[in-house]
Structure 1
Amino acid sequence: MEIDIETIEHFLEGCEDHGNLSAMFKHRFPGVSLTRCDPSDLFGEIPFRRSQGFDIHLVDGRDHCWKITRELAEATGVVVVEKKR
């Protein structure tokens, strides 16, 4: 399953209830994992996509351990780093 990064980006930017983001994401994008983390957790990693409120990284979780990837076709999920507003 290829991740529709454009739709995910629009969803994240339009989401006003950040406290319920994970549940809403799971409902909207079944089968795609979402991990939220602090910017320091991904220090040195270049985001796949930068948006106004979030940096979006792609995750490849097909093997035993997941890893950050730049390949959309390999992505099984996203890591979202919320920017401080």
Structure 2
Amino acid sequence: MECINLATLSGQEIEAIGASLAAQPSMSDAVVARFKQQYPGVSFTLCFESDMGSHDPYVEYKQFDLHLVAHSAQGGCSRVTTDLKACSGLVIALHEE
């Protein structure tokens, strides 16, 4: 399965995005929409950590975890990845209290 590189993000860029997200007073669809505008070509998905199953996060923050996503060239399917070179999006998995 070949992956599309919608955006190429370095580990430093991902951590900067994560720090910026962590600085938000609360997480919402509106916040995610702003980040989608700020980082065109990067896919952002908001969910709960329980939705991620047994996948380990790329980086953890107090309110959420960030997971890397790769998109398939065939059918637009996406999958969680640990391969930074294949990363074309981020999942923001909110911690449940």
Tell me which interval the TM-score lies in, with the shorter structure as reference length.
0.7 to 0.9
Farther off after superposition, 62-71 or 72-81: 62-71
* Higher relative contact order, chain-length normalized (CA < 8 Å, sep 6+): 2
Q: Write out the 4+ residue segments of structure 1 that deviate beyond 4 Å after TM superposition.
A: none
Q: 1: distance between equivalents of 2:50 and 2:25?
A: 24
What amino acid does structure 2 have at the position aligned with 1:38? F
- Counting strand residues as a fraction of each chain, which structure ranks higher? 2
Q: What's 2:69 paired with? A: 59
2:41 to 26, 31, 43: 31
Following superposition, the deviation at residue 17 of structure 1 comes to: 4.6
Cα deviation, 1:2-37, whole Å, max 9, x if unaligned, reads 222121111111122523212111122111010011
Checking the alignment, whether the CA contact within 8 Å between 2:43 and 2:90 is kept in structure 1 is: yes
SS of structure 2 residue aligned to 1:18: coil
- Higher-Rg structure is 2
Aligned residue pair count? 85
Q: What's 2:4 paired with? A: none
Q: 1: distance between equivalents of 2:26 and 2:59?
A: 21
Q: What's 1:2 paired with? A: 8
Checking the alignment, whether the CA contact within 8 Å between 2:68 and 2:89 is kept in structure 1 is: yes
What amino acid does structure 1 have at the position aligned with 2:80? I
**Residue 71 (1) aligns with residue 91 (2):** no
RMSD over aligned CA atoms reads: 1.6
Cα deviation, 1:43-75, whole Å, max 9, x if unaligned, reads 111111111221000000143311111011110
